Structure 1
Amino acid sequence: MTGFIYAISGGKAALAHDAQLSANMRRMVGSGVLVAVGYIDPGNWATDIAGGSGFGYSLLMIVITSAFLALGFQVLVSRLALATGQDLAALTAQHLSPGWAKAAWLAGEAAILATALAELIGGAIALRLLFDLPLIAGVSVTGIGTFAVLALTRGNADRHERVIAVLLAIVAASFVFLLFKANPAWTEVAHGVTQTGHALRNPQGFLIALGILGATLMPHNLYLHSGSLAERAQALPADARDMAMRVARNDTIVSLSVAMLINSAIMIVAAASLSGSGIMVSSLDDAHAVIGQTLGVGAAIVFAVALYAAGQSSTITGVLAGRILSKGFQIRSNWSDRRRALMTRLIAGAAAVGLLVFTGGKDPDELLVLSQVILSLALPFALGPLVLLACRKRLMGQYALKGAWAWAAISATVGIVMLDGYLLVDMVV
């Protein structure tokens, strides 16, 4: 009888353990959606449209390659968070020199401001295309939309992910529609992929390719991804970490694959509808106008709606990344998410309005380019610590990068930093 009772109680304990494990694994899903939106912000639109309109499908392979590189680093940062139970910001502050940690924090904050700038400018352009609203008024309306989204989510992580998933779905559905309207010749798309080398030999094509790479990997996304998973990993037993890493990896692969397909669709639509149109497409306004001419007014409206959704989708992620930065780098702040969002948007909004007034409101796409320059400058301060920490066996234990994987991560980091530096020099000089 005693043995029977023991078996029953042991079975209940096993069931409870399995239920808890299942619940923990479900919590590993969703963080990939948070970071996926960083790959379809207005800065990505600008580079994808420039590549598609200027070089057809020849730079499509660059979009795909950049996405795979970014995917590798996002999986790596998720591995770091799940192996240690801490986020990249906290680990940088604890294990690297104070000078490096402070530089990384400042670079991360700059990246968040740059993202807020791109969000406000992209939203303002979308509202001008939809309602002929002046850019400065559009910046204000977009900022108000930010707080509407934050009020809707109310600091709840699940709500964050659901709202972002809805915005991501709007962008994805819009480009499925635009692909249907553009009706590209898929044999030409396939042939264009083989012509990447020809496009890269053109100086302008090479610069656009670097821009695509620079706009793809966002430094604040690394902090956000690690912070989101580190919080969820702290309740994990040691024997569940392998499974958690597989679940988080698959979640990241699925989410970023969707983002890659959206970026590819942007370039394909641009190539099919804008390339050879006879109109020089150098801005989102030009792209909207030509899409209206070639695909119809309805397609142009869908394009503008998707642009606004893409801009707003980065709202929550920027605020969350800022909170993770402050906490990880031990910056004393009692600010709520809403107060942080307010300050970030006020600074970015003031910068946007000031630059728009200075330029007379002409060519706002240049401000999107500026945001990408800032992100390129900030990127090494996140990638360097990530790879360095991921290779430390004393920190990562059995999950430390070693051998060919370590060399691949180091080589990719050095290559990306050098290419970003080249792009920055070309933009400034």
Structure 2
Amino acid sequence: MMNEQKKKSLDEINESVDVPSVYETSFVQKFLAYSGPGALVAVGYMDPGNWLTSLSGGSQYRYKLLSVLLLSILVAMFMQTLAIKLGVVARQDLAQAIAVKVPKLVRYVLWIINEIAMMATDMTGVVGTSIALRLLFGLPLVYGILLTILDVLMVLLFLRFGIRRIEFIVLTAIMIVGVIFGIDVFRAHPAFAGILNGLIPSPQILTTHRELILSLGIIGATIMPHNIYLHSSLAQSRRYDHNNPKQVNEALRFAKWDSNVHLVAAFLINALLLILGGTLFFNKGNQLTAFRDVYEGLKNSAIVGSLASPLMSTLFAFALLITGMISSITSTLSGQIVMEGYLNIRLPLWERRLITRFVTLIPILVIGFIVGFSEQTFEAMIVFAQIALSIALPFTLYPMVALTSNRNLMGSHRNPAWITISGYVLTTIIMVLNVEFMFSI
């Protein structure tokens, strides 16, 4: 069994935020007190991989794949709810809960698998940030990559603020990105009737190979291991009476509200990206395959007509820069959770961040020097990062469903049979879709 010290996930954050008792304040005040972890998790649903698939889906099929985005976020809500339940009820994150159930060798294997997944997540942030710096300032990609090492200082600065302020900063960043894309889409005058039709699933998606493959990419990029580990730990950041069943039930209730509200925000941002691609670039002669396609297209009057504007393209690149930088916070926390949970090794977060970033940069720089530092090469890395995440996914979701269905661990909060069955079925479907997507690349 793990010792008591290990059972406290992310010691710097654990139980650091006070919340009202069950007998105090209104629903809104309680929601605000519990709100925050969902924002940190939602950032993971807006990474460069999601950007590419959403923009490409819109440029090729206009609004038809909005239904796939909606389905993906509903599945994400289901899985994040299980992660919340594990953290709130068992007071363990997923890595800790798995570690006490498996032999030492298996722990090491799972740690390696998930470390690779964390680095793959970090890679998408590096790629997004470096490309955004190139689009905004013309900075060579190799310099942009090396500059991402400095985000260690950003993580240090944010952590000095405390988790509550970090949550506020991330939420503000999400709102800024949402406003940017909202402005872009509003100026593009999309067809609202077509958007509503796109939210209705079309059987043609399953029968047309290209639509199916892109749909698999959207679904496969949605559920990522680091979000599950992160949420199971952040759910423990609120301080309340764990021995009071009413307080535990309330913590579960508001943590779910927090998660679902922010995942809806993530869905809206990804939907705005797809709508932007579908409104401005559908039937324009070529599909969007790169961030530069969008950046240049937003400035090209031959493509988007009178809507062409340097401001629109600059806002797009700025939003990419924000999400790339903010994702470094969540990937750092997720990596620390995995290391602490499986190995019981504690490092200061800045050391963890520095190690992760250096290890992430090695394959990027090696590939860059061999193949060349081009945006196409870097965006191809995003695809391979998604493959790594797909491989790690079943090692994350299957144990989580099993653990939250365990009577000894969860007590009266264990999953009912229909939740357990749904969890296993959804996990299997996601895994099969990811395998299909990998073989289609």
TM-score by length of 2: 0.88
Give the Cα–Cα distance (whole angstroms) in 1 for the partners of residues 109 and 438 of structure 2.
Answer: 19
Distance 1:200 1:337 in 2: 44
Aligned equivalent of 1:3: none
**Following TM superposition, by how much is the alpha carbon of 1:26 offset from its aligned partner in structure 2, in angstroms?**
6.0
Q: Distance in 1 between matches of 2:161 and 2:334?
A: 13
Give the number of the structure whose alpha-carbon radius of gyration is greater: 1
Match of 2:257 in 1: 250
Letter aligned with residue 297 of structure 1: P
Counterpart-to-counterpart distance in 1, 2:161 and 2:371:
37
Q: Is the 8 A contact 2:91 2:236 kept in 1?
A: yes
The equivalent of 2:426 in structure 1 is 412
Residue 337, structure 1, aligned to residue 349, structure 2:
yes
Matched residue SS, 1:32? helix
Counterpart of 1:383 in structure 2 is: 397
Alignment deviations for residues 126-158 of structure 1 (CA, whole Å, 9 cap, x no partner) = 111111111111112233235224323326211
User: Quick one: which of 394, 403, 426 aligns to 2:417?
Assistant: 403
Counterpart in the other structure of 1:236: 242
Displacement of 1:331: 3.5
Structure 2 portions without partners, runs of 5+: 1-19
Task: List per-residue Cα deviations over 1:29-85 (Å, max 9, x = no partner).
Answer: 211111000000111101111111111111111011001101110011101111111
Map of 1:267 onto structure 2: 274
SS at match of 1:196: coil
Aligned partner (choices 172, 179, 193) of residue 187 of structure 1: 193
Check whether the contact 2:72–2:222 (CA below 8 A) recurs between aligned residues: yes
Counterpart of 1:216 in 2: which secondary structure? coil
How far the C-alpha of 1:230 sits from its partner, in A, is: 2.7
1:299 aligned partner = 312
Q: Greater shift after overlay, 337-346 or 230-239?
A: 230-239
Map Cα deviations across residues 387-418 of structure 1 (whole Å, 9 max, x no partner).
01111112111111122222111110111111
**Corresponding residue for residue 281 of structure 1:** 288
Structure 1 residues 315-326: aligned runs within 5 Å: 315-326=328-339
Contact 2:188 2:280 survives alignment (8 Å):
yes
- How big is the alpha-carbon RMSD for the aligned residues of Structure 1 and Structure 2? 2.2
8 A contact 1:105–1:329 mirrored in 2:
yes
Q: Match of 2:69, as an amino acid?
A: V
**1-side partners of 2:31 and 2:188: how far apart?**
41
Q: In structure 2, how many angstroms separate the alpha carbons of the residues matched to 1:178 and 1:26? A: 29
Identity rate of aligned residues, in percent?
31
Q: CA deviation at 1:94?
A: 0.8
CA drift at 1:99: 4.1
Which of the numbers 312, 319, 323 marks the counterpart of 1:310?
323
* Cα separation, partners in 2 of 1:200 and 1:274, compared to 1, 3 Å: farther
Paired residue for 2:17? none
Does the C-alpha gap of structure 1 residues 413 and 40 become closer, same or farther in structure 2, counting only changes over 3 Å?
Answer: same
Check the 8 A contact 2:151/2:328 in 1, yes or no: no
SS of the equivalent of 1:154 reads helix
Q: Tell whether 2:138 aligns with 1:125.
A: no
Structure 2 equivalent of residue 210 of structure 1:
216
Local SS of the residue matching 2:236: helix
Deviations 1:235-292 (A, max 9, x none): 5333211111101010111111100111111101111011112233211111211122
CA displacement 1:220-243 (0-9 Å, x = unmatched): 111111111134367533321111
Tell me if the contact between 2:34 and 2:255 (Cα under 8 Å) persists in the aligned partners. Answer: yes
Aligned residue pairs total 412
Instruction: Give the unaligned 5+ runs of structure 1.
Output: 1-14
Provide the C-alpha distance between the structure 2 equivalents of 1:398 and 1:145, rounded to a whole number of angstroms: 43
CA distance in 2, matches of 1:17, 1:224: 26
The 5 A counterparts of 1:42-81 are 42-81=48-87
Matched, 1:351 2:363: yes
Instruction: Work out the CA distance in 2 between the residues paired with 1:252 and 1:195.
Output: 24
1:56/1:36 CA distance change after superposition, 3 Å: same
| SS class of match (2:203) | helix
Q: How many angstroms apart in 1 are the aligned matches of 2:32 and 2:284?
A: 48
Residue in 2 that maps onto 1:82: 88
Amino acid at match of 1:209: S
Query: Separation in 1 of the partners of 2:90 and 2:158?
Result: 32
Q: 2-side partners of 1:212 and 1:128: how far apart? A: 26
Which of 101, 109, 112 aligns to 2:118? It is 112
* Residue 141, structure 1, aligned to residue 147, structure 2: yes
Counterparts of 2:318 and 2:132, CA distance in 1: 7
Distance in 1 of aligned mates of 2:310 and 2:175:
22
Shift of 1:321: 1.1
Instruction: Say yes or no: does 1:424 pair with 2:430.
Output: no
Q: Which structure carries more helix by proportion?
A: 1
Post-superposition CA distance 1:331-374 (Å, at most 9, x none) = 324x2111111111111122222222222123121011111111
Distance 1:244 1:400 in 2: 16
Query: Normalization by structure 1: what TM-score?
Result: 0.90
2:179 maps to a residue whose letter is A
Judging changes above 3 Å, is the alpha-carbon distance between structure 1 residues 311 and 375 closer, same or farther for their aligned structure 2 residues? same
Q: Is the 8 A contact 1:104 1:382 kept in 2?
A: no
Tell me by how many angstroms 1:20 deviates.
11
How many angstroms does 1:328 deviate by?
Answer: 1.5
Task: Give the stretch that moved more between structures: 99-108 or 213-222.
Answer: 99-108
Kindly tell me: are residues 17 and 211 of structure 1, through their superposed partners in 2, closer, same or farther at Cα, counting changes over 3 Å?
closer
Aligned pair in 2 of structure 1 residues 225, 304: CA closer, same or farther (>3 Å)? same
